[in-house]
Homo-oligomer: A and B are copies of this chain.
């Protein structure tokens, strides 16, 4: 009994003193989204629970009733603050029959996809030689799209396709060429100048993507 007490005393002193005194505060850094971002990510939230490392927003199919017949559902730091500072994030892409994720880049991350449903064509284009690296992907296949390079995916099957997506950073960015050029107030004559498009094509695009000017 005295022994047990002694053990408890020793243990308490041990647990409190030698190793527990190590206030190692950054096993992780769940984003406090209400604070200003920094170049390395958001400041860390003070109180954290298991729910911060979990997200269920990718469970259901996104709505593909839009011009692309496709939807990108992100689980990046804004939706899933647990990935802050951890060099990774996720997304789900649903591509309806005939749908397409048009030419785009992620300025801040490499993309890796898992095809979990359907059949797609996916490709990226190198910057050094404009070479197109293209593959037909079936359920179970994976493919990687190097950071910052143009890429696209489209459904070639008779049923919806689903991609689970991982990014090599918590905030990959998504820059879709036609939206960058047309879904804003960039004047038509400048669009023409920097893209070599005909005026009629620009007007059509502006109308398609709700652009002004």
Which residues of A come within 8 Å of B, CB atoms?
A: 7-8, 10-15, 17-29, 32, 35-46, 48-51, 53-56, 58-60, 62-68, 70-80, 82-90, 100, 102-103, 105-110, 112, 114, 116, 121, 123-135, 137-150, 152, 154, 164, 166-169, 171-181, 183-186, 190, 193-198, 201, 204-205, 208-210
Contacts and interface: CB of A to CB of B under 8 A. Distances in A.
A115 to B, nearest CB: 9
Given A105-B148, A114-B114, 15 more contacts: A23-B79, A25-B128, A38-B39, A53-B144, A56-B138, A80-B142, A80-B144, A86-B144, A88-B88, A88-B112, A127-B180, A148-B173, A148-B175, A178-B195, A178-B196
B125 A110 contact: no
Contact of A176 (B19, B26, B66): B19
How many copies, total?
A: 6
Contacts of A146: 27-28, 53, 86, 107
Contacts of A70: 18
Contact of A210 (B11, B50, B124): B11
7 nearest A-B residue pairs (beta carbon): A59-B140, A107-B148, A39-B85, A14-B66, A166-B166, A87-B168, A40-B40
A204 to B, nearest CB: 7
A164 B116 contact: yes
Contact of A128 (B24, B55, B88, B105): B24
Nearest to A148: B107
Given A22-B76, A168-B88, A44 B38 contact: yes
